[in-house]
Amino acid sequence: MPHATPQPQENRRIRSFVLRQGRFTPAQQRAFETHWTRYGLDLSSAGPDWVQVFGRRAPLVLEVGFGNGEQLLWSALHEPDKDFIGVEVHRPGVGRLLNALTTHNVDNVRLYNHDAVEVLEQAFTTHALNEVRIYFPDPWPKKRQHKRRLLQPEFAAKLATRVVPGGRLHLATDWADYAAQMREVLDNAAQWRALAGADGGGARPPWRIETHFEKRGRKLGHGVWDLLYERC
């Protein structure tokens, strides 16, 4: 059964996640056993032919770190003209989304239960993606942990190779200093041009819902920063 696995010591790099799997329920286990063949993709050296995977040619959107899948499910249902690839390392969230996709009979989503950096490198050819969405990545709040944050110059450069010119990168975070780091990285990357949020964080766009997690944070007084960039 596919899942993110540790790499040999000599191949290890600093990762943006730690596998804290939490409770993996019997229903989530059954979802993998029953629905993975329909929705799941296994990482291989040769990336998929996306037209063959989805049976059509449509804008391709990558969501990195979809959590419990609440946003990704909503996107697939409300943007049926697009095809979505979701990446998440934590199996309980993947299992939950597998069940939800099946319940709604969604057919424009495929999933990787793997490290997003490796998926980006292996699953997509140059300019394969029309859009990338990264919502509330782990903020790694302690200063000594900042090197673990996903949005680093190297990752921004790799994203740029996979996104078509004119394509979009949308980020959201509820940590002000991470938003500032995101802006610094992307504003200094020649491949990206700010559309919104470069001055401190734009308003939530209509294609991003307010999740239950975000609502809870708002009640506690947490701010949210949305940043939107275009591939030059």
| pLDDT 10s digits, 27-40 | 888 999 999 999 99
Question: Residue 9 domain-assigned?
Answer: no
Confidence of residue 10 (pLDDT cuts 50, 70, 90): very low
Q: How many domains does the chain have?
A: 1
- Residue 224 is assigned to a structural domain of this protein: yes
Where residue 7 falls among pLDDT bands split at 50, 70, 90? Answer: very low
Reading the block at residue 160, the tokens are 């740029």
Residue 2 domain-assigned (yes or no):
no
Query: From CA 24, how far away is CA 156, in angstroms rounded?
Result: 32
State the CATH number of the domain containing residue 103. Answer: 3.40.50.150
Domain annotation covers residue 131: yes
Question: What pLDDT score does 5 carry?
Answer: 47
Enzyme catalytic residues: 138
Has residue 10 been placed in a domain? no
Q: Is residue 8 part of a domain?
A: no
Q: How far apart are CA 232 and CA 28, in angstroms?
A: 41
Average pLDDT value for the chain: 89
75 located within any domain: yes
Do the Cβ atoms of 149 and 184 come closer than 8 Å? Answer: no
- Which range of residues forms the domain containing residue 120? 19-231
pLDDT tens for 147-173 read: 989 999 999 999 999 999 999 999 999
Q: Is residue 182 part of a domain?
A: yes
Integer Cα distance of 225 and 204 in angstroms = 8
Check residue 46 and give its pLDDT: 75
Backbone phi, psi, residue 129, to 5°: -100, 140
Q: What sign does the dihedral 203-208-214-215 (CA atoms) show?
A: positive
Residue 2: partners with Cβ closer than 8 Å, 6 or more residues away: 36, 40, 42, 43, 113, 114
